[in-house]
Chains A and B, each alone.
Chain A
Amino acid sequence: DAGVIQSPRHEVTEMGQEVTLRCKPISGHNSLFWYRQTMMRGLELLIYFNNNVPIDDSGMPEDRFSAKMPNASFSTLKIQPSEPRDSAVYFCASWSGATNSPLHFGNGTRLTVT
């Protein structure tokens, strides 16, 4: 099993540019999560999909952030326009749905907005 795959690993962009982060969950997992990690705020849940449908997007900071899951094997998190305060590590995680089974995290995308 390849685990959760995220791309790119690093992204450096200028303020105002569009950024798209990508995630491939573990095959067979029906839930996908996007998290943001910063020193100040720790791990924040941005959005959670179940069976490709967004269930909880209350953590999405503002309208500049959007996420899609067009099929069971792919999800994107888009920031448009990006701002320096968006600089963080963004993690995708997938979950099988089984009781007490763990979240499986990818290795993250480190985003730097200058």
Chain B
Amino acid sequence: QQQVKQSPQSLIVQKGGISIINCAYENTAFDYFPWYQQFPGKGPALLIAIRPDVSEKKEGRFTISFNKSAKQFSLHIMDSQPGDSATYFCAATLYSSASKIIFGSGTRLSIRP
């Protein structure tokens, strides 16, 4: 029940296309859903996050869609660029605390020029 399931494991998208990464959870007590982006040789860094009381959050080309009833959330990258090539982790937290964060398994995204 503490897991966050992420798919796909890897994704190849053409430049300018839309990249979509999906995550699902079981524990309805999760109260904050961040996405982390990791470039090769670097540590993960916060990209965007959403609270469960909103259905969508957009920051530039990055959008989180959240479906509370389905217990699913997804990251959409519009107009994907080669510089977006990275590994993306969805996550969920309890008590809005990083000490209670559960990470998904990660998606390796490659954007083809």
Contacts and interface: CB of A to CB of B under 8 A. Distances in A.
Interface of A: 4, 31, 33, 42-43, 48, 50, 55-56, 91, 93, 95, 99-108
B43 A31 contact: no
Interface SS of chain A: helix, strand, loop or mixed? strand
Interface of B: 32, 34, 36, 41-46, 49, 51, 89, 93, 96-99, 101, 103-106
13 contacts: A43-B103, A43-B106, A48-B99, A95-B98, A100-B51, A100-B93, A100-B96, A102-B36, A102-B46, A103-B98, A105-B43, A107-B42, A108-B42
A55 B99 CA distance: 10
B49 A100 contact: yes
Contacts of A33: 98-99
B54 to A, nearest CB: 13
B43 A4 contact: yes
Q: DSSP majority for the B interface?
A: mixed
Contact of B96 (A50, A99, A103, A106): A99
A79 to B, nearest CB: 20
B106 A42 contact: yes
A108 B43 CA distance: 6
Nearest to A101: B98
Contacts of B34: 102
Contacts of A4: 43
A56 B93 CA distance: 16
A8 B98 CA distance: 25
Contact of A105 (B32, B41, B45, B106): B45
B41 A50 contact: no
